[in-house]
Structure 1
Amino acid sequence: MATIKDIAEAAGVSLATVSRVVNDGPKVGEKTRQRVKQIMEEMGYRPNANARALVTQKNTALGVVLAELHDPFFAMLAHGVESVTRRKNIQILLSAGSIEKETERRAIETLMEYRVEAMVVHSKALDDDTIIDFARQIPGFVLINRFIPAIANRCVWLDNVTGGRLMAEYAISQGHINLAVISSQYRIDDPNQRLEGIRNAISNAGLSLPETLVEYATPDQEGGEQAMQNLLATGAKFTAVLAYNDAMASGAMTMMQDQGIAVPEQVSVLGYDDVLLAKYCRPKLTTLRYPIEMMAAKAAELALRYANGEKPEPGIMFKYTPTLVKRNSLIRR
């Protein structure tokens, strides 16, 4: 493998000149710069990222902290970030926070140790003050899927209250007055906000949502199955189920179908997120589209701009709203 010394000898320049070219430094003529770059390409030279970080005091990578690496939702988030970094030829460093306070903290601090100054962070477990402190230390820190007023211009977030309201309003508009809800058991903002929106819409329609018709479980297909099993065990009557996400919706449909309950003829189901699963489960899932890829791309662009010296503008917010996607799992009552 070619070294910086090999490049210098082949180009007939000093080691310092090659180092300046590698690190986009000044005091190198354009003709010399292009010749050195051509020789680097011909000899297959690849700069050492860690060494470059020591020289420039920054890393050319963009760090991403996700909750989970296997969840389809977070795969979409990562893809949105990658659409920006690929275009800008920037490396991605991924880490998982697992919705645990210390794991999230370690993930961010590890990226800081590598001098990563642009980060897209999905954090649900860390408290607001800790997040604000990180934002003060890291020039390109951007928080996704969460809103903290003190760093509003560094937050790219979804209006989950409106999303919950849209779910319930659509179900009610289709004649469903007996609704059940299956929600995430995690003590984070998203399920609470969505449930708040659902309750608001139900109340505005002059209806009620008894606590016996709200079940909590893990936000995955297994959790959806378990939550639906619990609802059925109570003997409660409902004609539509509003699910925290598409995975729970899919699990709930599977449980009902296994019990001989026809979906949507007997019970309709409405999901949230519009991940790939929603198009291919049967029946195809009516859901709320979470524009996470668009949001992630925006977060990546902001992180890189802030890391490069652009100052976040006060009073600017990056709020997104989910939209209804009508398919086959919810029909008129």
Structure 2
Amino acid sequence: MEKKTITIKEVAEHANVSQATVSRVINGNASVKSKNLEIVQRAIKELGYTPNAAAKALASNRSYTVGMLVGSLDGPFYGPLMHATEDILYKNGLLCIVTSGRESEEREQDALAFLHSKQVDGVIVHADQTSDDTLTELVSKFKTMVILNRLVPGLEQNCLYVDNELGGYLATKHLLDMGHRNIACMTGPLSKQDARDRLLGYIRALAVHGVDYDPSLTVEGRFDHEGNFDKAFNLLSNKKEVTAVFCQNDNIALAVYDACAQMNLKVAKDISLVSFDNDNMSKHLRPQLTTVGYPLNDMGKIAANMIVSQLNSSDRMNSGKLTPVLEVRDSVCKLEPK
């Protein structure tokens, strides 16, 4: 026998309250008195009532979905970020629609237009190519927006980012504290703000320790794997005075490990390395990789909670800057002063 569909009217009659009260409970309206909330929730459970998603959305003028734009749908960076975000959203009754920009301004804007067409309740944006001006214009189109890993002037309350400059400083300072002075830096694409900020941290640490910045020791790579091996190999072949490398992410560090193996150089003996991100694989390398931890889980959870908080109240979102921490392992050797 087909199970009978329970209606809001029946829940209201069972709880001896108005249908409007039941509707407010279903839609999470904070104005419902605690006594009525308890009565309605008990009635819903006893009757086995399941709200119709379309009716719920229509009644509340909400879709109960949140859009998320990321750079890629794979890899050790975006995977944990998406997982942490989706977990918090789901626990708060929201589904996550994820799209990818693939480092293309056109694709990023197409993705954002798609999410807007789906009438998402909010959007979480990790966009490298979309301009600050465009993001400023987009804020008014969505009910709420969180911008990840960048600080947009005028939208500070919407931004959640890691202090990449501090991370670059901490990584380079560790190498300097271990006696290294000829320190190269392999960056991510300098079109990205996080790569530029990490480079600034590297330069600042050198200056604090009285070491002149040598632009020839800065090599622009990529945050993925493409082309990094050749650049690392050329760097170590042509700059034999280099004793250490600050790699701006763990993918770049992998390329340096491979280049060292090809050249019969031993990491932590001939070449010291400090990286950025603290991917899961970094502690499985040998020697284990010293790296600056990128708080991906925290970023995803905080971003989701910012969206939930804004949707449930008129309060401003509590955004801010996350602090990276250096994870010291075994990839750096100490040089004694000459």
Normalising by structure 1, report the TM-score. Answer: 0.86
- Contact 1:61 1:118 (C-alpha < 8 Å) held by counterparts: yes
Task: Give the Cα–Cα distance (whole angstroms) in 2 for the partners of residues 304 and 113 of structure 1.
Answer: 20
| Unaligned ranges ≥5, structure 1 | none
Does the 8 A contact of 2:66 with 2:123 survive in 1?
yes
d(CA) in 2 for partners of 1:286 and 1:30?
Answer: 52
- Is it true that 1:73 corresponds to 2:72 in the alignment? no
Counterpart in 1 of 2:313? 309
- 1:320 and 2:322 aligned: yes
How do 1:77-96 residues align onto structure 2 when only pairs under 5 Å count?
77-96=81-100
- Select the residue among 264, 274, 291 that pairs with 1:260: 264
Letter in 2 for 1:202: L
State the distance in 2 between where 1:285 and 1:29 align.
Answer: 52
Of the three residues 315, 320, 333, the one matched with 1:331 is 333
* Root mean square deviation of aligned Cα: 3.0
Q: How does 1:8-23 map to 2 (within 5 A)?
A: 8=7, 20=23
Aligned-pair distance for 1:17?
A: 5.9
Q: Is the 8 A contact 1:62 1:304 kept in 2?
A: no
Which residue of structure 2 aligns with residue 169 of structure 1?
173
Contact conserved, 1:10 with 1:39, CA < 8 A, in 2? Answer: no
2:296 counterpart residue number:
292
1:68-94 deviation line (CA, Å, top 9, x unaligned): 111211112112213422432322221
- 124-133 or 199-208: which moved more? 199-208
Query: How far apart are the structure 1 equivalents of 2:260 and 2:84?
Result: 34
Correspondence list, 1:266-285, <5 A: 266-285=270-289
Q: Distance in 2 between matches of 1:12 and 1:81?
A: 33
8 A contact 2:306–2:319 mirrored in 1: no
Q: Larger deviation: 120-129 or 52-61?
A: 52-61
Report the Cα offset of residue 277 of structure 1.
1.4
1:213-260 alpha-carbon deviations (Å, 9 max, x no partner): 211122123443232022134244211110010111112112211221
8 Å CA contact retained: 1:286, 1:328: yes
What's the secondary structure of 1:242's corresponding residue?
Answer: strand
Following the alignment from structure 2 to structure 1, what is the Cα–Cα distance between the partners of residues 274 and 179?
14
Percentage of matched positions with identical amino acids = 25
Tell me how far apart the structure 2 counterparts of residues 331 and 73 of structure 1 sit (CA, whole Å).
Answer: 28
1-side partners of 2:276 and 2:41: how far apart? 52
User: What TM-score results when the alignment is normalised by the length of structure 2?
Assistant: 0.85
Farther off after superposition, 68-77 or 229-238: 229-238
How far off is 1:186 after superposition? 4.9
Deviations 1:279-312 (A, max 9, x none): 1122211000111211221111111111233232
Equivalent of 1:246 in 205, 226, 250: 250
The answer (yes or no) to whether the contact 2:92–2:308 under 8 Å persists in 1 is no
Are the counterparts in 2 of residues 221 and 252 from structure 1 also a CA contact under 8 Å? no
Instruction: Name the residue aligned to 1:7.
Output: 6
Q: Does the Cα contact within 8 Å between 1:22 and 1:47 map onto a contact in 2?
A: no
Residue matched to 1:179: 183
